[in-house]
Amino acid sequence: MKMQLAEIASALNSDLSKGEDTVITSVVFDSRKATDNSLFVPLAGQRDGHEFVANAISHGAKATLWKKGHPNKPESIPVIEVDDPLTALQDLAQYYLNKVNPTVVGITGSNGKTTTKDMIAAVLSKRFNVHKTQANFNNEIGVPVTILEMKPSTEILVLEMGMDRPGQLHHLSSLVKPDVCVITMIGEAHIEFFGTRDKIADAKMEITDFLKADGKFIYNGDEPLLAERAKKIKQSKSTFGFEEDDTVYATEWKSYMHHASFKINNSDEKFTIPMIGKHNVSNAMAAISVGRHFHESDEEIAQALSKFTPTANRMQWKKGDVGEAIMDDVYNSNPTAAKAVLTSFGQVKIKEGGRRIAVLGDMLELGDAAPQLHASLASALDPTIIDEVYLYGPEMKNLADALTTKYSKNNIHYYPQESMDRMIEDLKNDIKQDDIVMLKGSHGMHLEKVLDRLL
C-alpha cells in the first residue's frame, strides 16, 4: 500500500493532528516490525499496545492510531484518534480493498486451509497478479493486515480465513465480500468451543454469508454436513472429492515419499504435487476447481501444482542427525488431520530394516471430548505399519492406554509434558539411519523443539 495520512484519516472519518502529507507504506501492530513509513496500530493483547508506540517510533514508524481518551498521547509523530484501533484497522483494510478492487478468493476449513491457499495462489499466479495470506494470518487481525500488504496492481487476493468461535467468519466475510468461497473440509478443530461437528459446519458456512451474488462456492462434496448446508446457497456451486457425483473427483491417486500423483474425471492431465497423502490430493482438487473457474487450462494448473511451495512445517521432509528422514508437520493438529497424516506416513516405503516412528503431541482445544478424541487415534495406528509410537502431553496418555491392546508395551513410549528433554534423548538413542520419523502435534506443544534437536 501507499497512502498519505490525510487519506487514511479521511477513510477512518477521523481527525489528524499533523502530517497530512506523510506517506505510509505499511501498517503494523508489532512495534518490532515497524519500518520507515509505517503506521502503528496499538492493539489490546496481553499488554496494551499503546505501551509500544515509542518502540515503533524507534523502528521507523511515522504515525500511529490512538484510542480516543487514552492518556499520554505522543507528540513527536502524527496521531489519528479512533474509537477502537482494531475496528479502525479493519475499516482501513476494507477501504483499501475497495480501492484496489481485486477478485477475492476466501478459503476456510478445519484442515488444509493453508496448503490449499498456497496451491490456489500458485495456480492463479501463472496469469494474474496474486497476493496471498502469509503464514496463517487468517483472523480478524491477520486478514486486514494481509489486505493492507497487497500491491495496488493485485488482481486476485487469496485469503485464508480461520475461526475459533461462532460469528468470526461472518465478520470476516462482511469485511472482504468474497467472489469465490472454498471450504476444504469439516473436522473437530476447535470443538471445545462448538460442541459438535454440526455447529462447526454452521460456523464454516459463515464464509458464504457475504459471497457476491455472481460468486462461486466450491466445497468438499464428500462431507454430508457441507452438502446439506450448500443447498441453501443460491450462487453457483461446484464440488471436489473422491466420489463420482463430485464435480471434480480423483479417478486414481498414489502417494510416494516426497509427492503424490493423481488423475481426475474429464481430463487427460496427470497431476503431481510435492506433498503426500489423500488429504493433500483433496486440497489440490480444490485448487483445480478454482483454477478452472478462472479459465486456467488443466495443463497450466498441473504445471503450477507440481512446483508450488507449501508453507513451513506442513508435511515437509527433513534429514535427521543420523540420516533418518523426518516428516515435519508440527504446526498444528486435530483428530482428522492426525489420522490423515498417520495414514499417509504409513504408506511411505522404507528401506529394509528401517522402521516407521510416530511422535505425537497433544491436540488442543478439544474440550470435554479430548480424552475420547485422543484415544480415537488408535484406529489409525497399526503395529505392522508404524513400529514405534512416542506420545507427549497429558491428553496423549489416553492414546497410550488405548494402544495397550494393539502394541507391545516396549513399542509405546509415553511422556508427560514436563518430560520433553527425556523424550528427545530417548528418540536420539532409538532412531537409526534407515528409520523414518513423523512429528505432529498442536503448535502449543512445541514439537518444533524436538525437531530442532533431531536435525
Q: Cα separation of 363 and 223, whole Å? A: 22
Range list of H helices, 254-394:
278-293, 298-307, 335-346, 370-375
Is residue 143 within 8 A of residue 169, CB to CB? The reply is no
> Would you call 25 helix, strand, or coil by DSSP?
coil
Other beta carbons within 10 angstroms of residue 371's beta carbon come to 16
> Would you call 315 helix, strand, or coil by DSSP?
coil
Q: Cα separation of 41 and 93, whole Å? A: 12
Q: Cα separation of 430 and 84, whole Å? A: 54
Q: Which of 106, 99, 163 is closest to 132 using CA atoms?
A: 106
Is residue 53 within 8 A of residue 91, CB to CB? The reply is no
Annotated binding-site residues read 109-115
Cell numbers of 66, please? 490512538
Is residue 190 within 8 A of residue 163, CB to CB? The reply is yes
Q: Cα separation of 261 and 60, whole Å? A: 48
Through-space distance between the first and last CA atoms of the chain, rounded to whole angstroms? 39
Annotated binding-site residues for ATP read 109-115
DSSP summary character for residue 376: G
**Cβ within 8 Å of residue 315, ≥6 positions away:** 275, 276, 277, 280, 327, 328, 329, 341, 344
Is residue 22 within 8 A of residue 63, CB to CB? The reply is yes
Q: In what helix (H) or strand (E) does residue 180 lie, and over which residues does it extend?
A: strand 180-183
